């Protein structure tokens, strides 16, 4: 148990579908992150939230839409995705943004048909 | 850390031996570094971190060494066990953002 829970663990969707990924952290942290992990590539930071405010959008296409209703929950809303969006999507949290270890969930494996 | 990945570097060690996993980082302004372990089907798991004002830090069976002169980071695992088989990532903190290397796959032979 890492204290960061992601659902669903696996998701298959068509390019015209709309779905959402959910992340919940039980660590009392104030910063939350979305990363994309593709095969044979380093983890790519997508979004950062600090105290519910988005502080980083790493040039992510608008078909990915994050939402952070409170410091414990983070969502990633997906619509009209492309096949190249198939990847493992990881959520992480840290006490604050900065020189702090980030703790990861086990990810959602997303496949776009 | 390394940016674009081609194939994942691999390290194969015998059970009981010590393992050394290396990482070159890119930015001399990086002030915080982390090592993660990722097992198949799981997310990255925090192992150990080190700040730039230190050269060495030890944990349980693990040691991280930082050489700022050549921008090099290493993770040493003592008495490697089969459960240590995983992909190991280094990450450097730049302006509050973690930049990850491509990872090294550690395989432990019984």
Tens of pLDDT, residues A26-60:
999 999 999 999 987 889 999 999 999 999 998 99
Of B1, B46, B89, the CB nearest to A101: B46
B102 interfacial to chain A (CB closer than 8 Å): yes
SS3 label, residue B82: helix
Residue of A nearest to B52 (CA): A99
CA A11 to chain centre: 14
Q: Name the minimum distance, in Å, from the CA of A99 to any CA of chain B.
A: 6
Tokens of A59: 């040039």
Closest CA to A4 of A86, A97, A93, A101: A93
What is the predicted pLDDT for the residue at B32?
95
Q: Determine the longest span between alpha carbons in chain B, in angstroms.
A: 42
% of residues, chain A, pLDDT over 90? 88
Contact: B102, A104; criterion CB under 8 Å: no
Q: How confident is the model at residue B2 (pLDDT cuts 50, 70, 90)?
A: very low
Of B7, B32, B42, the CB nearest to A40: B7
A 56-95 residues inside an 8 A Cβ radius of B: 56, 90, 92
Of A4, A102, A107, the CB nearest to B98: A102
Q: How confident is the model at residue B26 (pLDDT cuts 50, 70, 90)?
A: confident
A97 interfacial to chain B (CB closer than 8 Å): yes
What is the predicted pLDDT for the residue at A98?
87
Say how many C-beta atoms besides its own lie within 10 A of residue B52's C-beta. Answer: 16
CB–CB of B57/B51 below 8 Å?
Answer: no
What's the whole-number mean pLDDT along residues B44-50?
Answer: 97
CB–CB of B63/B80 below 8 Å?
Answer: no
Distance in angstroms (rounded) separating the CA atoms of residues B96 and B110: 40
Q: Determine the longest span between alpha carbons in chain A, in angstroms.
A: 39
Q: Name the minimum distance, in Å, from the CA of B18 to any CA of chain A.
A: 25
Contact: A99, B32; criterion CB under 8 Å: yes
How distant, in Å, are the alpha carbons of A58, A73, A74, A75, A113 from that of A24? 22, 5, 6, 9, 27
């Amino acid at each position: 148990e890492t204290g960061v829970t992601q659902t669903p663990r696996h998701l298959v969707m068509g390019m015209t579908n709309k779905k959402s990924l959910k992340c919940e952290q039980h660590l009392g942290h104030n910063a939350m992150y979305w990363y994309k992990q593709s095969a044979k590539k380093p983890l790519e930071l997508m979004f950062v939230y600090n105290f519910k405010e988005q502080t980083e959008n790493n040039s992510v296409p608008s078909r990915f839409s994050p939402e952070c209703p409170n410091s414990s929950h983070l969502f990633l809303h997906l619509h009209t995705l492309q096949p190249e969006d198939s990847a493992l999507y990881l959520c992480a949290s840290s006490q604050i943004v900065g020189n702090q270890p980030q703790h990861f969930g086990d990810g959602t494996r997303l496949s776009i048909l | 850390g390394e940016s674009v990945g081609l194939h994942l570097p691999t390290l194969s060690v015998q059970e009981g031996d010590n393992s050394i996993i290396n990482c070159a980082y890119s930015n001399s302004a990086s002030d915080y570094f982390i090592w993660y372990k990722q097992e198949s089907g799981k997310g990255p798991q925090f192992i150990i971190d080190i700040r730039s004002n230190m050269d060495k830090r030890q944990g349980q069976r693990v040691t991280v060494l930082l050489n700022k002169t050549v921008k090099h980071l290493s993770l040493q695992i003592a008495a490697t066990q089969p459960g240590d088989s995983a992909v190991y990532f280094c990450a450097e903190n730049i302006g509050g953002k973690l930049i990850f290397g491509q990872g090294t796959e550690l395989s432990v032979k019984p």
